[in-house]
Amino acid sequence: MQSSLSQCRPSLRRLLHAVDTTLVARLSSAALAQAYAPVAPNCKRQNLCNAVNDALMIALDTDNRACVFGEDVSFGGVFRCTVNLLERFGKTRVFNTPLSEQGIVGFGIGLASAGHTAVAEIQFADYIFPAFDQLVNEAAKYRYRSGGSFNCGGLTVRAPYGAVGHGGHYHSQSPEAFFTHVPGLKVVMPSSPAEAKGLLLASIREPDPVIFFEPKMMYRTAVEDVPEGDYMLPLGVARIVAEGSDVTLVGWGQQVLVLQQAAVQLEAQHGISCEVIDLRTLLPWDAEAVCASVSKTGRLVVSHEAPLTSGFGAEVAATVATRCFTRLESPPVRVCGADTPFPLVFESVYLPGVARVVEAVRQTVAF
Domain count of the fold of the chain: 2
Residue 10, domain member (yes or no)? no
101 is catalytic: yes
Nearest to 206 by CA among 179, 193, 194, 188: 188
Residue 268, domain member (yes or no)? yes
| Residue among 71, 121, 171, 315 flagged as catalytic | 171
Domain span holding position 213: 43-227
What CATH number does the domain containing 296 carry?
A: 3.40.50.920
What CATH number does the domain containing 107 carry?
A: 3.40.50.970
Nearest to 136 by CA among 104, 102, 182: 182
Give the CB-side neighbour count of residue 310, counting CA atoms within 13 A. 9
pLDDT string in tens for the chain (367-residue length): 333 333 333 443 443 344 344 444 444 444 555 555 677 889 999 999 999 999 999 999 999 999 999 999 999 999 999 999 999 999 999 999 999 999 999 999 999 999 999 999 999 999 999 999 999 999 999 999 999 999 999 999 999 999 998 889 999 999 999 999 999 999 999 999 999 999 999 999 999 999 999 999 999 999 999 999 999 999 999 999 999 999 999 999 999 999 999 999 999 999 999 999 999 999 999 999 999 999 999 999 999 999 999 999 999 999 999 999 999 999 999 999 999 999 999 999 999 999 999 999 999 999 9
166 is catalytic: no
Residue 153, domain member (yes or no)? yes
Task: Give the separation between CA 348 and CA 164, rounded to whole angstroms.
Answer: 11
Same domain, 251 and 196: no
Report yes or no: 254 and 191 within 8 Å, Cβ to Cβ.
yes
Same domain, 217 and 251: no
Same domain, 285 and 210: no
| Residue among 101, 121, 195, 305 flagged as catalytic | 101
pLDDT at 25: 45
pLDDT at 9: 38
Model's pTM, two decimal places?
A: 0.90
Q: Which residues contact 174 (CB under 8 A, 6 or more apart)?
A: 125, 161, 162, 213, 253, 304, 305, 306, 337
Same domain, 267 and 303: yes
Same domain, 187 and 301: no
Q: Where are the alpha helices (DSSP H) in the chain?
A: 2-26, 29-34, 48-62, 85-89, 101-113, 132-133, 142-145, 176-179, 193-205, 218-221, 255-270, 287-297, 312-323, 347-350, 354-365
Same domain, 353 and 215: no
pLDDT at 40: 80
Residue 234, domain member (yes or no)? no
